[in-house]
Amino acid sequence: MARRVEQAVILAGGEGTRLRPLTSTRPKPLLPVLGVPCIEYVIRAMAAAGVKHIFLACGYRSEDVRNALGGGDRFGVELELACEREPMGTAGAVKLLEDRLDGTFVVGSGDTMMDAELGPLIDFHLRRGAEATIGLTEVERPEQFGIVGVSAEGRVERFKEKPRPE
């Protein structure tokens, strides 16, 4: 299937307070993993899936993000900062861009590592004609993250954020 998703939003506005002092001098998405800022892995995955224009929803130390990543030429994409005046959370950051986003788009977190290709997930989304699609993975200790309950058809039925062990 031809991929028709060319826009994305990367959430990169949090202060990363739980990682201080590492985030006292740089935003969490710029913390290095194997010598490369974490956010670069997300940008490269999006570029490999055909995304051409990525909005970086920034807040904390947004100039550091701009200086580290530039305009996106080295990734083969256009990067554009969308700065929040005050933290708006995940949905708020996307809402900030609602007039700039056309049709289907991808949302990712600038501080998340993943080893999956986005292309097949985008294809799945387009085939299903869904309003939204979320990529999930199983982890050994979900109480550190959260649990998503899905139906046999793969539809999300519930979320439980950081549940207590039973």
d(CA 98, CA 67): 25
**Contact in structure between 55 and 9 (CB atoms under 8 Å):** yes
d(CA 54, CA 8): 5
**And the tokens for 63?**
């100039």
Three-state DSSP at 66 gives: helix
**Contact in structure between 12 and 58 (CB atoms under 8 Å):** yes
Which is catalytic among the residues 28, 95, 160, 162? 162
Tell me the HSE value of 146 on the side-chain side, using a 13 A CA sphere. 7
- Is residue 52 part of the annotated active site? The answer reads no
**Contact in structure between 31 and 19 (CB atoms under 8 Å):** yes
Residues labelled catalytic: 162
